[in-house]
Amino acid sequence: GAVVSQHPSRVICKSGTSVKIECRSLDFQATTMFWYRQFPKQSLMLMATSNEGSKATYEQGVEKDKFLINHASLTLSTLTVTSAHPEDSSFYICSARDPTGVDEKLFFGSGTQLSVL
Amino acid sequence: AQKVTQAQTEISVVEKEDVTLDCVYETRDTTYYLFWYKQPPSGELVFLIRRNSFDEQNEISGRYSWNFQKSTSSFNFTITASQVVDSAVYFCALSGHPTGGFKTIFGAGTRLFVKA
């Protein structure tokens, strides 16, 4: 089946640094990718929708300057947490949509645990 | 607006018991997809099932079964003869279009504890 690779799986960084998370669709072209954030023991909250070749669409309350999303190719979207602070510590998960066929196909990466010290 | 409600926050059962996880959804789209995902303690999301809005047939996969009822906007998930390895958080999710823009909205999740 289709695979979405997310890297890194875990990152620890100092406050003030920027962290980049990659999301790749390995065997299909994803015109749309989604980024989610999950706080401990909570649900997944959609942060933004990333469309290849265009600007990401952010959900209400998500700072676009803090969470930079780039979807430069049909197989890669990146999320950069800029000037990270401890409150940005969270589990980030991407998903990629395979638009081919008539059925909705959505595949998730394995997530990235970000810890900001 | 789209919404997914999982009213059960936590459920605790003893191994071999059957357990049903409830999911109620709201959407204005006539075309939508419903999903169940499992999130074990390791954190990754494990896809369990996808059901489109035009297919109300119930589905059984091993110990898992799903009951989709459009009349009550529910998509419940039953685990029969539960096992300790079933302990996880289970999320029900909804993806509707075009109104929903293919975004997947998750319920709050139900944490299932299966005790030996």
Report pLDDT digits (tens) over A23-79.
999 988 888 899 999 988 889 999 999 988 888 999 999 999 999 999 888 899 999
Neighbouring residues of B71: CB distance < 8 A, sequence distance ≥ 6: none
In angstroms, the CA B33 to CA B38 distance is: 17
Please tell me if residue B40 touches chain A, with a CB cutoff of 8 Å.
no
CB pair distance less than 8 Å for A49 and B103: yes
Contact between chains at A43 and B106 (C-beta distance less than 8 A): yes
d(CA A26, CA B9): 35
In degrees, to the nearest 5, what angle opens at C-alpha A11 toward C-alphas A75 and A91?
75
3-state helix, strand, coil in chain A (%, to 5): 5, 55, 45
- Residues in chain B predicted with pLDDT less than 50, given as ranges, are none
pLDDT more than 70, % of chain A: 94
Task: Assess B49–A contact: CB distance below 8 Å, yes or no.
Answer: no
Q: Is the peptide bond before A8 cis (omega within 30 degrees of 0)?
A: yes
Q: What is residue B99's predicted lDDT score, i.e. its pLDDT?
A: 63
CA angle B42, A66, A14 (to 5 degrees): 60
What is d(CA B51, CA A1) in angstroms, rounded to the nearest whole number? 17
Amino acid at A35: W
Alpha carbons B113 and A117: distance in angstroms, whole number? 32
Residue of B37, B103, B108 with shortest CB distance to A46 = B103
pLDDT tens column, B5-38: 999 999 999 999 999 999 999 998 888 989 999 9
Q: Is B104 on the interface with A (CB under 8 A)?
A: yes
Chain B CB contacts of A8 below 8 Å: none
Interface of A with B (CB under 8 A): 32, 34, 36, 41-46, 49, 91, 93, 95, 97, 103-104, 106-108, 110-111, 113
B103/A34 touch (CB, cutoff 8 Å), yes or no? yes
For residue A115, CA distances in Å to A12, A17, A112, B57, B66 come to 5, 12, 10, 43, 37
Q: How far apart are CA B105 and CA A6, in angstroms?
A: 20
**Which of B45, B50, B109 is opposite residue A104, by nearest beta carbon?**
B50
